[in-house]
Structure 1
């Protein structure tokens, strides 16, 4: 296994108390720590701590929304982490969703494809130290230059689900980040990007032998995420449109309980890795066998000590 990643900070565990776990990750066989950004911690601060606690780990953001910071601030924050972890930081960006961008941050969610393309082009120039004055389709920048240019500049990877964004990731970025897919979906996603592009995926892992509890939690997550239009379209493309149609109908009618109940067990089992720890580890390895470069586990709560679960899920 070339790479084995974990999402930090762990849910419900104060970041400051995770130092000893982070320090142990390289010896356990973990290679990567990736952050996230929704309504919890921001994407950069946890990585600054991890860079200090475990200098051998590769760090990544999955993902930083491209609308909620100005272009210059995006470059500055990426440069700061790249300076803390030279050659070991991957800058993952994406459009995020209208809920996060507009409803929570009061920013118009407009022209996502063009905004992603323009942001990558600006970041490429800014992170290599250029003085940028440019009018892009979706924003303009005048005379911006980083005062602290990272050496080397970090690779940029783009959150992508369907062919349009996947092709953009392959053409303009260094790879693609995806999520909410099964091992059997990886070849279809992989076929849309170049062999040289890194493919990264966040994988939701619930290490418990209580299948009913894991499926109930999985249904709550699936109905929350896959009813978002971009994820609904993603799973239509992957071939789950018919299986998820009853969920969408109940959700549209305002029947949240009915939407959860309408999700078939086989869909939950496809998209949520659950079972004994050994089975979970084997299931994550299936993603890699199907063509994924970097699996990034996101640990779901089971009632057990999450730090101990991270240790037990380690490849070694």
Structure 2
């Protein structure tokens, strides 16, 4: 199994975050991911990482469809791919959150599955250099073609919680990125996904796992619970957690099963069920804990220790 790391900490400068990515590459991580919400713009962030690294895969996990059009996303992905070199760019696409789509971006995300489906169909043609006409329910283009040739292939993965979005990923993308799941849920999901008849097609199954590392385990656990609580304000995540047999209103109990918290040794031990869950890639997402930066977690959980 590959080990990736997701680096999102608005308190760090772009230079500081890039320094963490450089350290992650030296420590043997296979991929460095960032996401988009209402903080850093992802493509410019990855361009900075590309300039400072030479091997580590660079992924957006994920860019919500309401932030930019499919054409704009492919322009950004191709630009990063040219800066990074062949085979290093991964474009993650997701529906995002309807509340944020409406309140922050003025976008009506009443049909998340259709929005992602349209997006993937357009991106698939653009990344292969083809001219595309697509009249969708949410996104449409007429004779669109990307005027830039990326260096090597650009993977697409889909951020998915439920089976319909996962199945869409199987048919339209190169992989899936799972989130806020127990180790047992990841294991059963990976088994289910591998049951599809993919033939010789490549399909990458990855998942985030939140990790809060601190010399004080109680402080780490509180930080993880706070992060989970932010997500549980959104109906889709509440439903997702509930379907795993957990109570979304009882964050203090749910946090025991959704992520890892403690001192470095405790976290390394608690990660073992995730590392044996049948994924292709486990993406460690350090949660900022007080004054202890995410860089310390990247060091403590490096592949050499797993």
TM-score (norm 2): 0.90
* Cα distance, 1:269 vs structure 2: 1.6
Say if 1:9 and 1:221 are closer, same or farther in 2 by CA, change over 3 A. closer
Aligned partners of 2:215, 2:27: CA distance in 1, in Å? 23
Asked if structure 2 preserves the Cα contact closer than 8 Å seen for 1:36 and 1:64, the reply is yes
Match of 1:312 in 2: 300
Which of residues 198, 219, 222 is equivalent to 2:225?
219
* Cα distance, 1:225 vs structure 2: 1.0
Asked if structure 2 preserves the Cα contact closer than 8 Å seen for 1:8 and 1:46, the reply is no
Match of 2:214 in 1: 208
The alignment's C-alpha RMSD in Å is 1.9
Say if 1:284 and 1:47 are closer, same or farther in 2 by CA, change over 3 A. farther
Match of 1:253 in 2: none
> Match of 2:105, SS?
coil
Structure 1: 5+ residue stretches without partners: 248-261
Aligned partners of 1:206, 1:132: CA distance in 2, in Å? 44
TM-score (norm 1): 0.87
> Match of 1:296, SS?
strand
Asked if structure 2 preserves the Cα contact closer than 8 Å seen for 1:130 and 1:145, the reply is yes
Asked if structure 2 preserves the Cα contact closer than 8 Å seen for 1:281 and 1:315, the reply is no
Match of 2:270 in 1: 283
Say if 1:192 and 1:102 are closer, same or farther in 2 by CA, change over 3 A. farther
Aligned residues: 296
Structure 2: 5+ residue stretches without partners: 196-201
Aligned partners of 2:80, 2:293: CA distance in 1, in Å? 29
1:179-232 residue CA offsets vs partner (Å, 9 max, x unmatched): 111212212222332365312112111112433323322332222212311112
* Cα distance, 1:234 vs structure 2: 1.2
Asked if structure 2 preserves the Cα contact closer than 8 Å seen for 1:133 and 1:142, the reply is yes
> Match of 2:42, SS?
coil
**2:47 pairs with 1:41:** no
Aligned partners of 2:9, 2:292: CA distance in 1, in Å? 12
Runs of 4 or more consecutive aligned structure 1 residues displaced over 4 Å after TM superposition: none
Which of residues 228, 236, 242 is equivalent to 1:230?
236
* Cα distance, 1:292 vs structure 2: 2.0
Matches within 5 A, 1:125-140: 125-140=125-140
